[in-house]
Structure 1
């Protein structure tokens, strides 16, 4: 097995095709949409998905930053060599796609200022820090990881949703409703400005900013729109009541579904909540099983 080539193909898959459950959710939305403009828009989005899948073209010009989650069982190992192969495979995949060149040149200050321009090679865009998932994880999306598991999940995260995302504290006041409604209010404000609806927003609730965002990313990798729990349905219904609709044109479909991942909590007056309003080409996710 050539792991680098396999990772490259998985990156291309994540960028050019969407999961069956998201396609199902979009088709359900088209069937129930009563706003003519929104219905037309949803149909055009579905056509865009189908063209991208057939031609192996990226779903969006913003091809995103690679995020990696590794699921590892008790009898498998993550070696330094594997980590190097992941980085090499992502570089190759972004070049083969080809992705949009987005890596910024220069030293620390020059990268912030973007004063030295961009690298021409798409593969120069480095992935985010890698997350490790094991049987010790406690959350809504806890995985039943067998001892022989070694799965690598690749998420391509675009810039628009990151601009509208938020991670902040919420004073829970001993009320789950207070926490989840605060998250919904944040998302409602974000979706008004996102532009690329319908969204599949993600929510992570944890003890620290890092943990809350990690829980959010895991929900994007593991979530399933064909199997939504009561909390996810509640969030979806509340956001669809905004009538923002596809591309902000109004209608019943502001979101296709929601991912909510709740992890361990600490004895304190706050919960750390992370929200991300994905655009309509996300989540772009693919998994390589080794």
Structure 2
């Protein structure tokens, strides 16, 4: 199969299917929920997943902005040609899906103002800058990357969670709990306004705004609800005590789990924290192994 078709199919898979760990978490939440409205909402969400996977339709009308993480071992190489193919394959996948047209026309001023309207083809929505990940990464989500690894992870990030996301500094006061408590406070406020819970919030903590957000994105690509750390479980338990519940209808299930990725830190009184409260169709992730 041509690599452009492989990338296209991977984008379509990311848009139309969810991982087994999220299915299991949702079914567990349905079984545990005793709020009738919340239980009904969770059942409808599960049905939405089944319909999307069966029909090949997107999980959500907001089909998301493509983000790419390349995971590479020391004996592999990536070329400018491959990077171009990733861009071309994403455009092909969005057109074949088909995704929702969301790319704004015009120069940089016109794009900000959205004064010239949208491109008709969904594939005109170009991906964000590509992240490269290798064995030197040192974070909570550090990977055991073999020398011959070349994986391309495709993430589709919806607009609603981006509106509610936040990246900002926290004065740590030499307290891990203070940093996590601040991040949880941000998430509690954003989840109230998100509308499409239950969420799997992601948190990245680094030295710069770029690094914190990169750590967050890596957690979305690599995180698993089957393997939650003690701290991730603590955050989930706290957020579920908010009573927001699925679709804001109350109940026990505001989040299905949490991704917490902490990278290197520097001698400073500040930690840069990035949080993103995903909507219930996320994470939308699929991987192409080359």
TM-score under structure 2 normalisation?
1.00
Equivalent in the alignment of 1:190: 190
Q: State the Cα deviation string for residues 69-113 of structure 1 (Å, max 9, x = none).
A: 000000000100000000000000000000000000000100000
Aligned partner of 1:248 in structure 2 is: 248
Structure 2 SS opposite 1:168 = strand
In the alignment, which residue of structure 2 is the partner of 1:289?
Answer: 289
Q: Tell me the CA shift for residue 273 of structure 1.
A: 0.1
Q: Which residue of 2 aligns with 1:135?
A: 135
Equivalence map 1:141-180=2 (5 Å)? 141-180=141-180
Corresponding residue of 1:97? 97
What residue in structure 1 maps to residue 16 of structure 2?
Answer: 16
CA shift, 1:2, in A, is 1.3
Matched, 1:53 2:50: no
SS at match of 1:13: helix
Where in structure 2 are the equivalents of 1:180-219 lying within 5 Å? 180-219=180-219
Q: CA deviation at 1:128?
A: 0.2
1:69 matched residue in structure 2: 69
Deviations 1:199-225 (A, max 9, x none): 000000000000000000000000000
Matches within 5 A, 1:80-119: 80-119=80-119
Partner secondary structure for residue 34 of structure 2: coil
Provide the C-alpha distance between the structure 2 equivalents of 1:17 and 1:55, rounded to a whole number of angstroms.
Answer: 10
Describe the SS at the equivalent of 1:34: coil
Equivalence for 1:268? 268
State how far apart, in whole Å, the 1-side matches of 2:214 and 2:4 are: 25
- Deviation track 1:48-89 (CA, whole Å, cap 9, x = no partner) reads 000000000000000000000000000000100000000000
Q: In the aligned structure 1, how far is the partner of 2:108 from the partner of 2:46?
A: 41
CA-to-aligned-CA distance 1:148-193 (integer Å, 9 cap, x gap): 0000000000000000000000000000000001000000000000
**RMSD of the TM alignment (CA)?**
0.4
Give the CA deviation at 1:15: 0.1
Give the Cα–Cα distance (whole angstroms) in 1 for the partners of residues 188 and 42 of structure 2: 20
Separation in 2, partners of 1:264, 1:210: 13
Aligned residues: 290
Q: Structure 1: which 4+ aligned runs deviate by more than 2 Å?
A: none
Mapped to 2, the partners of 1:34 and 1:242 lie a distance apart of 16
In the alignment, the residues of structure 2 paired with residue 128 and residue 136 of structure 1 have an alpha-carbon distance, to the nearest angstrom, of: 23
Secondary structure at the counterpart of residue 274 of structure 1: strand
Determine the C-alpha separation between the residues in 2 that align with 1:19 and 1:176. 31
Gaps of 5+ in 1: none
Alpha-carbon separation, structure 2, partners of 1:24 and 1:215: 25
Secondary structure of 1:68's aligned partner: strand
SS at match of 2:52: helix
Q: Distance in 2 between matches of 1:151 and 1:39?
A: 37
Q: Does 1:44 align with 2:44?
A: yes
